[in-house]
Structure 1
């Protein structure tokens, strides 16, 4: 007698493998993890804040003759 095979298990395993292939392709295509994006955004915000803090205010027009 032959063994009984559950076709649902094979179908689901194939679907998981296909999703994994798609996910790997997207990971190489877009390339950064969520943590890397958050770190880069924080560094950018810190640099922007630092530059804004060192900005020299333009002279006021109240003292003009």
Structure 2
């Protein structure tokens, strides 16, 4: 499992920018879907502020 900070990851899905909370598993490897641990109960959203709040809350739990 990853030990880095949770962060907001954005991606264009169709014509919509979407956000999800995750963290890099292995920082020495390129960023790709297989190198990201997604936050529990995290789902793609168009609400960037909601994703940022979730990442902030998760980082406070550490």
Does the pair score TM above 0.5?
Answer: no
TM-score by length of 2: 0.26
Report which structure shows greater RCO (CA 8 Å, sep ≥6).
2
Larger fraction in helix: 1
Larger Rg: 1
